[in-house]
Amino acid sequence: SETDSWTLQKSSSLVNENSSTDLIDLSETDISPPTDEKDSNNQSEVRNFARKIAVVPRLNQTNGRLDVLSSTSNPGLIRLFCIRHGERVDFAFGSSWPELAFDKAGNYQRLNLNMPLSLPRRRNPFRDFIGDSPITEIGVSQARLTGEALAANDSLAQYCYSSPAFRCIQTAHYILQGMGIEDRVKIRVEPGLFEFLGWYERGLPTFFNSSDMNINEEEETHLYNIDKNYRPIISLEKLSRDEKYIDYYNRSFKVTQQITDKHKLTGR
């Protein structure tokens, strides 16, 4: 239901100068940042762009299946997968869902098969989960299937970065689970990847910290392989509350650039 809200902001080639690659030439595609979230013209441009890249042979056809160009055959190629989170509970059941799913003592009760089977405890679930929603069971399936599809095309992740939003950490975890590498690849929580701050004039949500992400609760287990030694590019304290759209684009560019620069020497 949210597909039409996806917007391509910019396309960049993540390739070293001396490498020979087979990437798509997007020089004729001009999609500028939106001036209005409901701009139907921009949505049409995104659809047109999607049609263009759908017909370009980006992948090698081998043995009846798609085989992504590997970094071993193209040592200068960095493959960066930017993936949106799975379906959110608050989008599926409304922003007041915690009032229905938690009792006065803060105990969670599943009200629908698409709601999470269990949830980690929070100090104030009525407040904290409203601002930092988990994903639904459909969202879990979306993430796991995405991981399985990437693994089937020899696209296993060597590194994983996530926004501090719980929905994003969950999505990252289940993608890695779908790849079968959730125990080997740690999730690096990067606050600089959080969404546009202009939507949070009253303050940021209360996020889980890395310790919360690795807790074992009685009768329930919520284990996420978080890299506790990772030092973020932008800390939560440095996120500007009065961010403008251009600031958000610049922040996203800075974080993405530093992440790719960190790994460009290995080409992965």
Task: Provide DSSP, the chain.
Answer: --GGG---------B-TT--------TT---PPPSSTT-HHHHHHHHHHHHHHHTS--SEEETTEEEPPPTTTSTTB----------BHHHHH-TTHHHHHB-TT--B---STTS-S-----S-HHHHHHHS--B-HHHHHHHHHHHHHHHHTT---S-EEE-SSHHHHHHHHHHHHHHT-TTTSPEEE-GGGS--GGG-TT-------TTGGG-EETTEE----B-TT---SS-GGGS-TT--HHHHHHHHHHHHHHHHHHHTTTT-
Residue 46 within a domain: no
Residue 22 within a domain: no
pLDDT band at 12 (very low <50, low <70, confident <90, very high): low
Residue 35 within a domain: no
Structural domain boundaries enclosing 69: 59-263
Residue 120 within a domain: yes
Q: For residues 123 and 185, which has the higher predicted lDDT (pLDDT)?
A: 185
Residue 38 within a domain: no
- What is the pLDDT averaged over residues 140-151? 97
- What is the pLDDT averaged over residues 22-33? 40
The structure's pTM equals: 0.71
pLDDT band at 8 (very low <50, low <70, confident <90, very high): low
Residue 216 within a domain: yes
Total domains in the chain come to 1
| Residue-level pLDDT at 11 | 57
Residue 228's CATH number: 3.40.50.1240
Residue 185 within a domain: yes
Share of the chain above pLDDT 90, in %: 53
Residue 53 within a domain: no
When mean pLDDT is compared across 29-38, 54-63, 152-161, 205-214, the lowest value belongs to 54-63
| Residue-level pLDDT at 222 | 57
| Residue-level pLDDT at 181 | 96
